[in-house]
């Protein structure tokens, strides 16, 4: 059994017990969150939503709020002595899928 969920403008294929990193979500570690389910498969048939399924719920628990490793952005113009160095760390939320329920 698996589902395709939407979070942060992206889509993820998830199963129960899977941990994934999604765009930063509001909430503390241990909070429960629900995701919109776009597609659901129970190994016999596949259901798709228009755009989301109304009777399927994907429940997850927030495991961590963290940041990705640093990406260095270095801009320069040749022969002009112009340099600009920036760093960026994208925040993310790690969630564990607890259940995919059909209701």
Q: Yes or no: say if 70 and 80 are a contact pair by the CB < 8 Å rule.
A: no
Domain extent, residue 38, equals 2-63+94-102
Within-domain flag for 34: yes
What is the total count of domains within the chain? Answer: 1
Within-domain flag for 9: yes
Compute the Cα dihedral for 26, 32, 37, 40 and give only its sign: positive
| pTM score, whole prediction | 0.86
Q: How far apart are CA 83 and CA 47, in angstroms?
A: 53
Within-domain flag for 68: no
Q: What is the pLDDT of residues 6-51, one digit of tens each?
A: 999 999 999 999 999 999 999 999 999 999 999 999 889 999 999 9
Mean pLDDT of all residues belonging to the chain: 96
Within-domain flag for 83: no
Within-domain flag for 24: yes
Predicted pLDDT at 103: 75
Predicted pLDDT at 102: 87
Within-domain flag for 74: no
Predicted pLDDT at 43: 87
């Amino acid at each position: 059994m698996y589902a395709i969920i939407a979070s942060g403008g992206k889509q993820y294929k998830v199963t129960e017990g899977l941990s994934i990193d999604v765009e930063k979500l509001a909430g503390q570690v241990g909070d429960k969150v629900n995701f919109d389910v776009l597609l659901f498969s129970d190994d016999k048939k596949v259901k798709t939503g228009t755009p989301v399924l109304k009777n399927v719920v994907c429940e997850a628990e927030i495991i961590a709020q963290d940041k990705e490793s640093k990406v260095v952005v270095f801009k320069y113009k040749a022969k002009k002595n112009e340099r600009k160095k920036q760093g960026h760390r994208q925040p993310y939320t790690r969630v564990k899928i607890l259940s995919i329920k059909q209701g």
